[in-house]
Amino acid sequence: MIDVDGLPVRRKSWIKLAAIPRARVGWELSDCKEITSPDLKKLNLWMDKVEKGEVIRADGKPTCGKGLLLVGEPGHGKTTLAIATLQEMMRKFSMEAFGAQTGKVLVKPCYFTTFNSLIELKGELISGGSDEQERLFLGMHGECADDAYNIRVLVLDDVGKEHQSGSGWQRNMLHHILRTRFNNGLPTIVTTNLPVKTWESTYGGATESFIHEAFAVIELESIRGDLRKR
């Protein structure tokens, strides 16, 4: 466990502003004891690339903007692993690893949200949201005019649990944020119960094809099965 209050002021504020669920504040990778060694190895390889500056705004590199797609049955630790990853990064990584502009102080280098919460935020903006909500929404896409608000690593949790309308605008919204972030060199960590083979029927061929380009896929299966039943 990380003693968040014992961290330097900037790093403590990063974690406190990242919308981490209270039950998982302070978690690090060593707390994810049910994740198998091969899965942790894949995760650490990705984190090493991020820390070396090969992912976030790594112009010209094949790994630029490449995120993680954590796939698995409910209760197998996907969300917890994603949250622990964010907090490890905010505790350890340099400003340079986060692709900060010279002299810029990042407000939220990492952020956690569910896909349903993102959809709700979009609805509030359509109805006339606040400037703060608009900055957050644009920052999650990496399109905020003030670069300090552009979120470098976003966890988009519970993709696949959203209501699908007949018009399919939720599908289009998912594709848009994933594509926009990738094009801006900003990785996304997506958690989902949906196997990759079902993405074409759920989100369309373009999105299914795109995830193979934009994500390293980790298919999680915890050592002890559904952890929520333990």
Reported as a single tens digit per residue, the pLDDT across 35-75 is 888 899 999 999 999 999 999 999 999 999 999 999 998 87
**Could you tell me the CATH number of the domain that includes residue 212?**
3.40.50.300
DSSP strand pairing (153-159 vs 188-192): parallel
Name the pLDDT band for 13 (thresholds 50, 70, 90): very high
Number of domain units in the chain: 1
How is the chain split among helix, strand and coil, in percent rounded to 5?
A: 45, 10, 40
- Edge-first strand listing for the sheet containing 153-159: 110-114, 153-159, 188-192, 67-71, 215-219
Residue 166 lies in a domain: yes
- How much is the pLDDT for 99? 84
Residue 176 lies in a domain: yes
Residue 2 lies in a domain: no
The 10 Å Cβ neighbour count of residue 194 is: 16
Residue 6 lies in a domain: no
Q: What is the mean pLDDT of the chain?
A: 90
Range of the domain at 44: 36-221
- How much is the pLDDT for 224? 59
- In total, the chain counts a number of residues equal to 230
Residue 13 lies in a domain: no
For residues 72 and 116, the answer to whether their CB atoms sit within 8 Å is: no
| Mean pLDDT across 95-108 | 83
Q: What values do phi and psi take at 34, rounded to 5?
A: -95, 0
Q: What is the rounded CA–CA span in Å between residue 11 and residue 183?
A: 27
Terminal Cα distance for the chain, rounded? 21
For residues 142 and 130, the answer to whether their CB atoms sit within 8 Å is: no
Residue 103 lies in a domain: yes
Residue 56 lies in a domain: yes
For residues 191 and 78, the answer to whether their CB atoms sit within 8 Å is: yes
| Pairwise pLDDT comparison (228 vs 152), residue with the higher score | 152
Residue 156 lies in a domain: yes
Q: In terms of DSSP H, where are the helices of 5-114?
A: 9-16, 37-51, 78-92
Global pTM value: 0.92
Q: What is the rounded CA–CA span in Å between residue 125 and residue 137?
A: 9
